[in-house]
Amino acid sequence: MRNKAYNNQSFFLAGDCEDSAYRNVRDDPYYAEDRAFVESLWSRYYDLADPNCRTNARNDFLARFWEMYLAVTLCERGFKLERFGNEGPEFYFMHNNRKVWIEAVAPGPGNMEDQVPDYFSSEVTKIGGTKLEIMVETPVEKIILRFTNALYTKR
């Protein structure tokens, strides 16, 4: 068990960061509920976190959030998670005398043919004084390519 002082630390670190989602949740009063949720996850996850979790979150917030959320959810469902070192899969649990390894992956949007557009679920068009919402096809192939790339990179 880590020392109690570590548990009392905020998930968020002061100072510069590259990730706008991290900065928004940390600094913007509009996201106060989200910040409280992240801190509640952190209070239950810190024992499993690798030593660089908080530092890495400054530049890759969604991946670290997903890792925390997944771990806390599994623990709340009765799985006893263990961390094995600070490289490779995040953690594992035992099932039928076998280790089941968990690697949390949060792929980015891509930057070439596999790029997933920022907004793909709907468009709003104004005709006269009426706004119409038009559903746009979800780019399933590009999303699959992003996950495939993330898994390949982790491998």
Q: How far is CA 132 from CA 71, 82, 99, 124, 154, in A?
A: 41, 50, 51, 6, 42
Nearest C-alpha neighbor of 52 from the set 28, 31, 83, 21: 83
Residue 102: its H or E element: strand 98-102
Question: What would the pLDDT profile of 119-151 be if each residue is shown by its tens digit?
Answer: 554 556 566 666 666 656 666 676 677 667 777
**Average pLDDT of the segment spanning 98-123:** 70
Q: What is the pTM of this model?
A: 0.72
- Residue 109's CB is within 10 A of a number of other CB atoms, namely 12
In this structure, are residues 81 and 71 in contact, taking their beta carbons and an 8 Å threshold?
yes
| Geometric angle at alpha carbon 138, from 72 and 104, rounded to 5° | 25
pLDDT, tens digit, 9 for 90 and up, residues 24-80: 999 999 999 999 999 999 999 998 998 889 999 999 899 899 999 999 999 999 999
